[in-house]
Every structure is written in structure tokens, then in C-alpha cells.
Amino acid sequence: MNTGTSSPALLLLAIMILPYQATAAGAGGLHPLVLVPGAGGNQLEARLTAGYQPSSLICSFYPVLKQKGGWFRLWFDPTVLLSTFTRCFSERMMLHYDKESDDFRNTPGVETRVCNFGSTESLLCLDPSLNQVWKNRGITAYMAPLVNTLEEMGYVDGETLFGAPYDFRYGLAAEGHPCRVGSKYLSDLKALIEKASTDNDRKPVIILSHSLGGLFVLQLLTRSSPSWARQFVKHFIALSAPWAGAVDEMLTFASGNTLGVPLVDPLLVRGEQRSAESNLWLLPNPKLFGRRPLVVTPNANYSAFEIEEFLDGIGYPEGVYPYRTRIKPLVEEIDTVEPPPVPITCVIGTGVDTAEVLVFENGFGDDRRPDVVYGDGDGTVNLESLLALETLWSNQSVKVIRVSGISHTSVLTDETSIREIVGEISSVNSYALSEK
């Protein structure tokens, strides 16, 4: 996959953008654009306090070099590739559900923070030092190719272009349950959208999300008043959004997931991945996946209606209660919630082998990875989940752009998908200009 700016496809894209740049500039500028990343799509920092209980002597001293105040990069840190440090990383990323407060929290003694909220800086790549070496390629690159193209279009970071990074380990819960981190993020995102609009002649904002970010944006829109959405949001563009979860998430819970990072033992990160509130949110939604078996074992099969039994069966009974009380009521609202009064465009990849059924021939006990039966999707999210809003809201303004052969993450870097994304943004801005 070529993401170089000198390629013929991107040169053609730049030529296509030029006429629009002149039109937009002459007519008072672009609609402000807010980028919301997916899980793992922005940098996280951490520091250790006196309450931290390391699992090994190495974790007591690692990392040796820290920033002012003891802060260091937690995600993404390339030393996670080494198994000794993977264990330190895993225990620091771990979340814990506290039944008494009915909420999730960090590991005791670990403080975390999200940097550069409002800017795209922490969305460009996950490790700036590696990004310099690999020049926006490899495991560290994220939104840099897309942001570069948007800047060529005329967007300026901090003026008309904004980033909304967040602690992607946390999620949201059904009404009536506290959700300190996730709720604060929605509040911060709402304030950023309002400020972006106010600072740009009160133009409503285009929101562009990737993956899990789409679920947060949709929750913000459905939890806000219709008048607020009409005033502040011009259009919502969702890339690779797992509206109804994914079977691949069941693989993560059962066997761990390296997320494409080489050399990492998935079993070393499985515990912290199971602990993430957002991962519970991404398990397959029974309203869309129905009762067909998604996981097959010698003793039992599990559909989306048997997630609680599945969690118990894989040896993670701690996840059953928060899933049952906080997550299941939230995801089951999908077919009853009122669509927001905002046009929605979904850009999705199709035609990529995507886990459809997981077959554990020997059950879960030996930690062997399953045989996988594949279906259609983007390699991570199943097609029925990607198309859920179109299926459920046939009378709402939901447009779907399918890009064949594009994976869940390459939608942000592939020239064809970037052309579709920029074309949609240009169309929204051009239509807004024609209304004046």
C-alpha cells in the first residue's frame, strides 16, 4: 500500500482539491472539522504513584527516562514488543470494575492522561520517534495521511481542524449507571464542537470518526437535544464504525489480540484487553447478530444472546455483571433510539475476510487459538455491523460509501478511501455554500 504524496493517485487527488480550495476560501472558508479516533488511535501517558504495586523489580524502574512530573508514554510504547515489558504495560493498562461504585477505574497507583485535546497532534501517529523513522508508515502511523490531505484542502489544525483524543479503554454505560471517564469525554467533545463552531462564524461542525469513535459520537448526538444537533453539527462521517460490535471482539476476549503489533504474545495482553470497558461495548449486539452461533465448542455454542455465558466459559466471570447491568441495556437500545437530525455518511471497507464464526475444537481450556470461519466485512468488523444504521434507519439520511478491499484501519491511509472521504467533506462544504 503506497501512501507517499508523490504517487499519481494522490497527485490526482490534489488536483481535484485545488478548485474547491479557491471556492471555499473566496466564500468565507470551510466548515470546521472535528476528528474522533478509534480505540488505540491516540497517545496515552501515565505516571506511577506510591500506590503502584509492580509485579516485578523491572516494572519498579521501567521506564528509566520520564518527562517532567514523572509522565511517560503508555500507548504506544515500542518496548511492549519485549515480553518482560509487555507484562509491565499490561498491568498499567488494566482497568478494574468496582461493584460498590458501579464504575471502572485504573490500576491503583497508575494515573493516566490524554494529551493535546483539541489538536490532531496525538492522532497523527502513536509514537513520534518511530514515525520519523518510518515516515507515516508501519504500526505507528494513524491519521497522518488523512490529516495531511485535509491540510492540503485548506484545513488548519487548531483553527478549522480539531482532534478529540480520549482514553479509549473506557466506554459508556446505560442510563442510570455512573461512567465518570466516558461521560466527561462526551462533555468535553460537546464543548469542543461548540467552540469550533463559535470560533468559525457559528458554522456547524463536520464530525469525522473512526471505529469506536463513531459509537461515542452517535451517543453524543442521541443524548443531546435535536435543537443542539441542528445548531452545531452539519454532518457526521463515520469510518469503519462497529455499530453492532464484532465477532473479532470475542476472539480478543478468548485468546487476546496483538492488533497487528509483531512479536507480542496475545496471552500477555489478554487480561488487560478483557478489562477494558470499551471492549465489552464492542461485543456482538444480539439485536443485529441474532441467535446464530458465533463461537462453537465441543460442549456449547454461543450466540450474541449468550455473551454472559461466553464470558464465564472463557474464564472471565468478572465481566459478566458489568456486561449484564451496564453494557447489554446500552447496546440493546440500538433499534429503539431515535435517529439524530443530522445527515450521516458511513465509509466502510468490504470484501475483506472477517471473523464470522470461531471454532474451539478443544474448548477454551488449552488457550489454543480457534479455527476461524470468515465472512464479509473490513477484516475486523462484520458487514452487518458496518451496515447497521442503514438497516435500522432506512427512513433517515444515512449514506453508505463502500470501498472494496479496504481494511478497518487502511481506510485512513489508502488513497482510494481518502479520495472518498475528502470528496464527501468537499461535497458537504460545497452544498453549504450553495445554500447561502
Question: For residue 84, what pLDDT band results from cuts at 50, 70 and 90?
Answer: confident
Q: Is 235 a catalytic residue?
A: no
In this predicted structure, what is the pLDDT of residue 11?
46
62 or 433: which carries more pLDDT confidence? Answer: 62
Q: What confidence tens digit (pLDDT) does each residue in 384-407 have?
A: 999 999 999 976 779 999 999 999
Compute the average pLDDT of residues 67-95. Answer: 90
Q: What confidence tens digit (pLDDT) does each residue in 339-388 have?
A: 999 999 999 999 999 999 999 999 999 999 999 999 999 999 999 999 99
Whether 205 is in a domain gets the answer yes
Average pLDDT, the chain: 90
* Catalytic entry in 90, 209, 211, 410: 211
The answer on pLDDT for 33 being more than 70 is: yes
In this predicted structure, what is the pLDDT of residue 150?
97
* Catalytic entry in 378, 385, 410, 417: 378
Compute the average pLDDT of residues 48-60. Answer: 93
The answer on pLDDT for 112 being more than 50 is: yes
Whether 109 is in a domain gets the answer no
In this predicted structure, what is the pLDDT of residue 135?
47
Whether 252 is in a domain gets the answer yes
In this predicted structure, what is the pLDDT of residue 15?
44
Compute the average pLDDT of residues 185-211. Answer: 98
> Using CB atoms within 10 A of its CB, is residue 124 exposed (0-12), middle (13-18) or buried (19+)?
buried
The answer on pLDDT for 3 being more than 50 is: no
Q: What confidence tens digit (pLDDT) does each residue in 286-315 have?
A: 999 999 999 999 999 999 999 999 999 999
In this predicted structure, what is the pLDDT of residue 82?
82
Whether 214 is in a domain gets the answer yes
Q: Is 101 a catalytic residue?
A: no
* Cα torsion 34, 37, 43, 49: sign: positive
* Catalytic entry in 235, 278, 408, 417: 408
Whether 53 is in a domain gets the answer no
Question: For residue 133, what pLDDT band results from cuts at 50, 70 and 90?
Answer: very low
Whether 110 is in a domain gets the answer no
- Residue 192 belongs to what domain range? 8-40+118-435
The answer on pLDDT for 134 being more than 70 is: no
Whether 377 is in a domain gets the answer yes
- Per the structure, the count of domains in the chain is 1
Whether 327 is in a domain gets the answer yes
Q: What is the CATH number of the domain that holds 426?
A: 3.40.50.1820
Whether the model pTM is above 0.85: yes
Q: Is 408 a catalytic residue?
A: yes
